[in-house]
Structure 1
Amino acid sequence: MRQPSSPRPTAWPRSPRYPYVSGALLVLLAAAEILHARITSATVLATLPLAVLPLLWRGREPRVGLLVVPAALLNFLFRPELLMTAAVAGVMGLYTLARHRVLHPVVLITAAVTGALLVNAGHVAMGVYDLGGRAPAVGADGSLSYFTESFVLAVGVVATVGVADAFRSREESRQAREAAQRELIAMERRHAAAQERAAIARELHDIVAHSVSVIAVRAESAAYTTPDLSPPARDGFRQIAASARSALTELRQLLSVLRADETGAGEAAPVLPQPTLDSLDALLEAHRSGGGEVTLHTAGARPPLLPPSLELTVYRIIQEALTNARRHAKGAAVDIHLGYADDEVRIRIADDGPGPQGPARDSGGHGLSGMRERANLLGGRLTCGPAGPGGGFLVEAVLPVRAGAKSFAEGGYE
């Protein structure tokens, strides 16, 4: 059995706990150094906490380095022996500023080297370089050696900023590679989904669309080729052909959506207007022409600007309810009650057929679940079941208007 690999050492500095742990160790070092050297200078004791304690929060707020580095230089100014704690704190603060690009590397190096030169000049002025009681003469032979500490600090500054900037560049490259990998995986998933959609579209085109087109052609031709056909029968064949052509149009629109990813951006899929509440009359008339009986009752004033997603959902729910009535309760009378309010639309569809009750109305299909999903997408609710002891089936839905407007604004209406 393969053992889980231990985390790499280079991953520890990226841990959220790393700044707190390393900062706490630096605080302990400062306490030990103060006690060992028996430091009593108030200036040194005041600047050392300013150089150490802010480093505890450098992970969340990298700008604390702007306080840490000057405090470390001031500590060095008043304590020329340069406490190890101040040196480490200065390097950590400088690294933090460069690693997070709080300042541009050139600006950061210039500011830090200038600070080192000022501290060195302060040491010269304070007589740190005492030559047997004589103050050093700046400009005399060998006086450049007084600024050796500035040179050493400048080298340390450049090295620290360079290393921090290199680590930053490597981290950015790593993140770019990971982002590219994620994008590649997402692209492969989209490609796989597009292939599945294309396969579904081909199946629908080769099987369903072909069958529907055959129905349309045979019904159209039967109206003219069948001898002694009565006018009602002729009208029935024509209505079958018209319904088949309408179904074929909607099926082609669905196929265009499924093939959108396959065709690419350069080939625009045809877009047809979606049904609205104004299309209900044609839907009810088509149901009546097929031998069904349906009555529409409206209550309340229809709002002038209903979201298209809401109108489409109302149309599809009524359409599916009529389809179920024709399939499971042929010849039943259907009553549709459509009520409008300022904040919601109510739908009540009942038939008096003796057909199957309950979920059997949707056996083998997805009509009822599809109606529920459409209602849920708008934040509404839909219930369905037996209309009463005498038989029949009842569908009731409540659709909020505001949720429909939000769904339309987000582009999720079909």
Structure 2
Amino acid sequence: MSTTTAPPRPTVPPGATVLRRRLRALAATPAYPWLTGAVLTVGAAAELVVFPGSATNASAILLSTASLMWRRAFPPVALVTVAAGLVSFGADTSLSIAVMISGLIGCYVLGRHRVLHPALLVAGGTLGALAINLWHILSWARDDRLPDVPALGNAGSLGLFAEAFGLCAVILGAVSMGDAVRAREETRRERALAQAQLIAMERRQAAQAERAAIARELHDIVSHSVSMIAVQAESATYTTPGLTPEAREGFQQIAGTARDSMAELRRLLGVLRTPQRTEDARGAGAATAPQPTLEGLAELLEQHRAVGGGAELRITGERVPLAAAWELSAYRIVQESLTNARKHAPGARSVVELGYRADRLTLRVSDDGPGPPDSGSTSGHGLTGMRERAALVGGSLTAGAGPTGGFTVEAELPW
């Protein structure tokens, strides 16, 4: 089987590219319209010296060329450029070279800056060209030096409108070229703006996801440790016999400092966290430090028992190794649930249930405490972080009052 290859693209010589860039840079300078307008006006004056015409013709030619100097500062002045060019052509049957150039530039500027709709510009130019052509036809009929000019409507009279057809084609081409350049530049600007907005949005989303991840890790790790410090310091004043008043006061100060730290941490998390943000599951195991897994649940429950809470672990199904994201999410959900139990139901008995199913991991943490706190006291970020943990791996989480009282957290983490 034969294959065909596309012909190689023609390469642009480096010299041509450099020249093109320099010309574009020159055209972008503020002096460029003044320079070109002045050069064209001087050229028109020299042409009038060689081929003098009537005062009307000369004035119109100079006005048409000189007005181009303001074409960038005030694009509608190109209407004067084109109109003066048509008047100069009407005043004399011959078309000046300077007027040809200024007329082309004027039509291009009108289309480039869309002074009027291109259809209106072409229609206006067509009517002007037709009027000039009719004026020339009448002058030809009165000129005794042209005895063979056919009358309108007779055979061969259609050829009298050749100059109108030519002018219309030139006007249409120049206006269309200017409008095409304008449309292309607008498309480039819109594409660049859309790309810049997309990059800015991606950066904001990345920053917000990183802030949410930092807030979640701070809450799960630091909040857990500080809350244990507060509970242990509080309980030590009652469980340690023979404490001196100074030692008791020291434990109270440790507990107070821990509570203040929790409040400061909560305010910091409020700054860092953005609601309804989840990070990509692919980045969950990207940390360089070892992340906790479900193998560490026994130690986690032992820590919970050490501060006065009851804890029991129940596992159903055949235990299988899970991906790091699932292990970390499940561990953090259990850790936060036990932390909430210590905060809102001190001394309550908690039960952690893990269920290994064929396509998912089920997780349930319940306690026999007083139940959900009042709405006015739920200012923490724990439940939000747990829901984010579950959503991180495509799962879901619910939390609320248990069927027999207390507080229950249930999660499903599919794989």
Give the TM-score, by structure 2 length. 0.55
Q: Which residue of 1 aligns with 2:60?
A: 47
State the Cα distance separating 1:191 from its structure 2 match. 4.3
Q: Deviations over 1:373-411 (max 9, x none)?
A: xxxxxxxxxxxxxxxxxxxxxxxxxxxxxxxxxxxxxxx
> Which sits farther off after the overlay, 93-102 or 238-247?
238-247
- Of the candidates 237, 246, 255, which is equivalent to residue 269 of structure 2? 255
2:262 is equivalent to residue 224 of structure 1: no
- Of the candidates 117, 122, 126, which is equivalent to residue 139 of structure 2? 126
Q: Which residue of 2 aligns with 1:88?
A: 101
Q: Which residue of 1 aligns with 2:165?
A: 151
- Is the 1:52–1:68 contact (alpha carbons within 8 Å) kept by the matching residues of 2? yes
- Is the 1:219–1:238 contact (alpha carbons within 8 Å) kept by the matching residues of 2? yes
Residue type matched to 1:37 in 2? F
Closer, same or farther in 2 for the Cα pair 1:193/1:106, shift >3 Å? same
Q: Which residue of 2 aligns with 1:165?
A: 179
Which secondary structure state, in structure 2, belongs to the residue aligned with residue 80 of structure 1?
coil
Closer, same or farther in 2 for the Cα pair 1:60/1:36, shift >3 Å? same
- Of the candidates 78, 84, 87, which is equivalent to residue 71 of structure 1? 84
2:227 is equivalent to residue 213 of structure 1: yes
- Of the candidates 112, 122, 141, which is equivalent to residue 125 of structure 2? 112
Closer, same or farther in 2 for the Cα pair 1:129/1:179, shift >3 Å? farther
1: CA distance, partners of 2:187 / 2:275: 31
Q: Which residue of 2 aligns with 1:273?
A: none
- Is the 1:129–1:146 contact (alpha carbons within 8 Å) kept by the matching residues of 2? no
Give the TM-score, by structure 1 length. 0.55
Q: Which residue of 1 aligns with 2:322?
A: none
1: CA distance, partners of 2:141 / 2:81: 24
2: CA distance, partners of 1:238 / 1:140: 117
- Is the 1:99–1:167 contact (alpha carbons within 8 Å) kept by the matching residues of 2? yes
1: CA distance, partners of 2:171 / 2:192: 32
1: CA distance, partners of 2:187 / 2:20: 18
2: CA distance, partners of 1:227 / 1:71: 109
State the Cα distance separating 1:115 from its structure 2 match. 0.8
Which secondary structure state, in structure 2, belongs to the residue aligned with residue 21 of structure 1?
helix
1: CA distance, partners of 2:50 / 2:145: 29
1: CA distance, partners of 2:28 / 2:132: 33
Which secondary structure state, in structure 2, belongs to the residue aligned with residue 219 of structure 1?
helix
2: CA distance, partners of 1:261 / 1:215: 29
State the Cα distance separating 1:29 from its structure 2 match. 1.8
State the Cα distance separating 1:146 from its structure 2 match. 1.6
Closer, same or farther in 2 for the Cα pair 1:264/1:82, shift >3 Å? farther
State the Cα distance separating 1:178 from its structure 2 match. 2.1
State the Cα distance separating 1:25 from its structure 2 match. 2.5
Structure 1 runs of 4+ with >6 Å offset: 230-233
Q: Which residue of 2 aligns with 1:35?
A: 49
Which secondary structure state, in structure 2, belongs to the residue aligned with residue 227 of structure 1?
coil
- Is the 1:220–1:237 contact (alpha carbons within 8 Å) kept by the matching residues of 2? yes
Calculate the aligned-residue CA RMSD, in Å.
3.2
Alignment: residue pair count? 262
2: CA distance, partners of 1:113 / 1:56: 25
Q: Which residue of 2 aligns with 1:241?
A: 255
2:14 is equivalent to residue 6 of structure 1: no
State the Cα distance separating 1:122 from its structure 2 match. 1.6
State the Cα distance separating 1:35 from its structure 2 match. 1.7
2: CA distance, partners of 1:119 / 1:150: 8
1: CA distance, partners of 2:146 / 2:74: 47
1: CA distance, partners of 2:141 / 2:63: 24
Q: Percent identity, aligned pairs only?
A: 46
- Of the candidates 207, 228, 247, which is equivalent to residue 193 of structure 1? 207
> Which sits farther off after the overlay, 243-252 or 85-94?
243-252
- Unaligned regions of 5+ residues in structure 1, if any? 266-414
- Is the 2:229–2:258 contact (alpha carbons within 8 Å) kept by the matching residues of 1? yes
Residue type matched to 2:93 in 1? P
Which secondary structure state, in structure 1, belongs to the residue aligned with residue 76 of structure 2?
helix
2: CA distance, partners of 1:7 / 1:238: 80
1: CA distance, partners of 2:263 / 2:277: 19
Q: Deviations over 1:101-151 (max 9, x none)?
A: 110111111111111111112222333774646575222222222211111
State the Cα distance separating 1:207 from its structure 2 match. 5.0
Which secondary structure state, in structure 2, belongs to the residue aligned with residue 60 of structure 1?
coil
State the Cα distance separating 1:224 from its structure 2 match. 2.8
Q: Which residue of 1 aligns with 2:350?
A: none
Residue type matched to 1:6 in 2? V
1: CA distance, partners of 2:49 / 2:134: 29
- Is the 1:197–1:258 contact (alpha carbons within 8 Å) kept by the matching residues of 2? yes
Closer, same or farther in 2 for the Cα pair 1:222/1:31, shift >3 Å? same
- Is the 1:195–1:262 contact (alpha carbons within 8 Å) kept by the matching residues of 2? no
- Is the 1:47–1:71 contact (alpha carbons within 8 Å) kept by the matching residues of 2? yes
State the Cα distance separating 1:201 from its structure 2 match. 3.0
Which secondary structure state, in structure 2, belongs to the residue aligned with residue 139 of structure 1?
coil
> Which sits farther off after the overlay, 118-127 or 149-158?
118-127
Q: Deviations over 1:287-343 (max 9, x none)?
A: xxxxxxxxxxxxxxxxxxxxxxxxxxxxxxxxxxxxxxxxxxxxxxxxxxxxxxxxx
- Is the 1:194–1:261 contact (alpha carbons within 8 Å) kept by the matching residues of 2? no
